């Protein structure tokens, strides 16, 4: 299964979850909103590429994410990191398939548009998790971490 559409939906739902009045982590909401916008742009790049290669886009029903509440900032970031790793593996699998079928255009497209950016996203989330753990993943540490994301 290709995970990018799932990544877009989950980031979008996470942005609204952390914006709720009973969660109130607006910096994290801002981060996930930006992430959602980037994932939507990635999906659009794939659709444009598919059209340029003469393919057809077949839309399917959009299922709600299985998880719609994430608890702490740490829980949400860990879920996002796990999903980014899944997306990265999906992209690597497609890259292998393209290489196996001697499709240099697709391998170049994946390398130029996605693979390096995925590694950077994984590193950014892992760094954020480390910083949050150092600050204290709940209470004042979480508040200060969230405030940094807002500014």
- Residues making up the annotated binding site for Fe cation are 39, 42, 84, 118
From the annotation, which residues make up the binding site? 39, 42, 84, 118
Sign of CA dihedral 114, 118, 124, 128: positive
CA distance 49 to 109: 8
CA distance 46 to 49: 5
CA distance 124 to 121: 5
CA distance 141 to 135: 5
Question: What single string gives the DSSP state of each residue in 8-50?
Answer: HHHHHHHHHHTTSTTT--HHHHHHHHHHHHHHHHHHHHHHHHH
CB atoms < 10 A from the CB of 78, how many? 17
């Amino acid at each position: 299964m290709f995970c990018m559409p799932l990544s877009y939906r989950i980031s979008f739902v996470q942005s609204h979850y952390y914006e709720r009045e009973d969660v109130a982590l607006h910096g994290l909401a801002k981060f996930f909103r930006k992430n959602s916008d980037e994932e939507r742009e990635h999906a659009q790049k794939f659709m444009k590429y598919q059209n340029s290669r003469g393919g057809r886009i077949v839309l399917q029903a959009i299922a709600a994410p299985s998880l719609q509440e994430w608890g702490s900032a740490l829980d949400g970031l860990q879920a996002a990191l796990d999903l980014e790793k899944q997306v990265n593996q999906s992209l690597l699998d497609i890259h292998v398939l393209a290489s196996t079928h001697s499709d240099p255009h697709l391998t170049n497209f994946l390398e130029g548009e996605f693979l390096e950016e995925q590694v950077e996203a994984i590193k950014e989330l892992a760094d954020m998790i480390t910083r949050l753990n150092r600050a204290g993943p709940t209470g004042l540490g979480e508040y200060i971490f969230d405030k940094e994301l807002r500014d």
